[in-house]
């Protein structure tokens, strides 16, 4: 199983809906539209040649400077038979961060999606229990978004000389 075979199978099925093909460190990486994420993963799961039936990881990244695609949901899938991994990226605006849940396809997605919601605010449509998993329920923001300063500028107890400033 090679990256070229995977790319060809996906291109034959989805055509121009899949873009931004890359191979960083040999791992096939591509982008799909947010409304197609589940269709692409279902195809990767069901196809008898591809057999990507293990969800290794699911998370998000916040790109505050990318207009209308500030949040990127990243899926890492693994074909255990051929020992091949790939990365699927889906971009959504932070104003409407809706992505279809993969929890019916991969049971491991349940808690990973809850964690991604908890820290980034991604709304996984159809998730059976999309509530906070690590942070307190009363939290009204998403702490992993790059909307906050790294340090409190009002602190006076820090000696800048100790930090090389």
**Full strand arrangement of the beta sheet holding 28-32:** 18-22, 28-32, 84-92, 71-79, 54-62
Q: What's the CATH number where 24 sits?
A: 3.30.460.80
Question: Counting beta carbons within 10 angstroms of the beta carbon of residue 5, is it exposed (0 to 12), middle (13 to 18) or buried (19 or more)?
Answer: middle
The one-character DSSP state at 153 is: T
Residue 118 inside a domain? The answer is no
The pLDDT of residue 141 is 87
Residue 29 inside a domain? The answer is yes
Question: What DSSP line would sit under 11-46, residue for residue?
Answer: HHHHGGGEEEEE-GGG-EEEEE-GGGHHHHHHHHHH
Residue 79 inside a domain? The answer is yes
pTM, to two decimals: 0.88
Structural domain of residue 15, as residue ranges? 3-98
Contact indicator for 82, 51 with CB cutoff of 8 Å: yes
The closest alpha carbon to 20, from 74, 95, 59, 64, belongs to 74
165 residues of the chain, pLDDT tens digit each: 999 999 999 999 999 999 999 999 999 999 999 999 999 999 999 999 999 999 999 999 999 999 999 999 999 999 999 999 999 999 999 999 999 999 999 999 999 999 999 999 999 999 999 999 999 999 888 989 988 776 666 766 766 666 665
Residue 37 inside a domain? The answer is yes
Residue 119 inside a domain? The answer is no
3-class secondary structure, 88: strand
Q: Domains in the chain: how many in total? A: 1
Would you tell me how many other CB atoms lie within 10 Å of the CB of residue 30?
20
């Amino acid at each position: 199983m090679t990256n070229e075979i995977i790319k060809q199978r996906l291109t034959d099925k989805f055509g121009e809906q899949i873009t931004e093909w890359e191979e960083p460190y040999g791992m096939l990486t591509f982008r799909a539209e947010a409304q197609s994420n589940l269709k692409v993963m279902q195809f990767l799961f069901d196809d008898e040649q591809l057999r990507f039936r293990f969800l290794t990881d699911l998370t998000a990244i916040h790109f505050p400077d990318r207009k209308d695609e500030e949040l990127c949901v990243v899926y890492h899938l693994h074909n255990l038979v051929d020992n091949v991994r790939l990365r699927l990226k889906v971009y959504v605006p932070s104003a409407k961060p809706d992505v279809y849940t993969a929890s019916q396809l991969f049971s491991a997605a349940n808690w990973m999606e809850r964690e991604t919601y908890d820290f980034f605010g991604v709304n996984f449509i159809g998730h059976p229990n999309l509530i906070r998993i690590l942070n307190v329920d009363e939290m009204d923001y998403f702490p992993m978004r790059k909307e906050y300063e790294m340090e409190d500028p009002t602190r006076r107890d820090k000696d800048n000389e100790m930090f090389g400033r």
